[in-house]
Amino acid sequence: MTVPATFTSTTPRFSLPILFPGQAQKEFSVNEAHVLLDALVHTHVHSIADIPPANPAEGDAWLVQPAGQGDWNGHDQTIAVFTAGGWRFIQPRLGMRIFDSASGKQLHFDGSWKFAVEPGLPIGGSTVDLEARETIGQLVTALRDLGLLARAQE
């Protein structure tokens, strides 16, 4: 596996390389920053896994489960992005959100990655309960439309 480059001057949140005056090979730092930004803007992962896929395409990303194996060993709960230089691992920050294509849901990071829990719809009751059920159903639909809950299976 190719080891990603380290930079002496980086941004505080996501360690994007910073250029300095008179720097040689500026394109190297700029390209590295673009690769990381490409992975971070509207972050999307294929799924959650503990073993790297056999043939990833450049730009593909996964969320590494606790107890990552192989090239992912020691990178638990990071976002693994495959690039021309090998795997890049992005440390999550509090409040970060990603979209998981496999589940069709968003995850939120607050020390660990969490899916939103889908509320159950109420059942039974009288007229007041029917009105409450309709309102809650509309809320669930709105959350699904925002991508916070998975779409209902048809």
Q: Where are the domains of the chain?
A: 26-114, 116-145
Residues in the chain: 154
* pLDDT attached to residue 1: 44
Q: What angle do CA 29, 25, 36 make, to 5 degrees?
A: 15
pTM exceeds 0.75 for this model: no
Residues contacting 145, CB < 8 A, separation 6+: none
* pLDDT attached to residue 115: 81
* pLDDT attached to residue 105: 87
Average pLDDT per consecutive 10 residues, the chain (154 residues; last block may be shorter): 60 69 70 72 88 91 92 94 87 88 88 77 67 83 74 62
* pLDDT attached to residue 124: 65
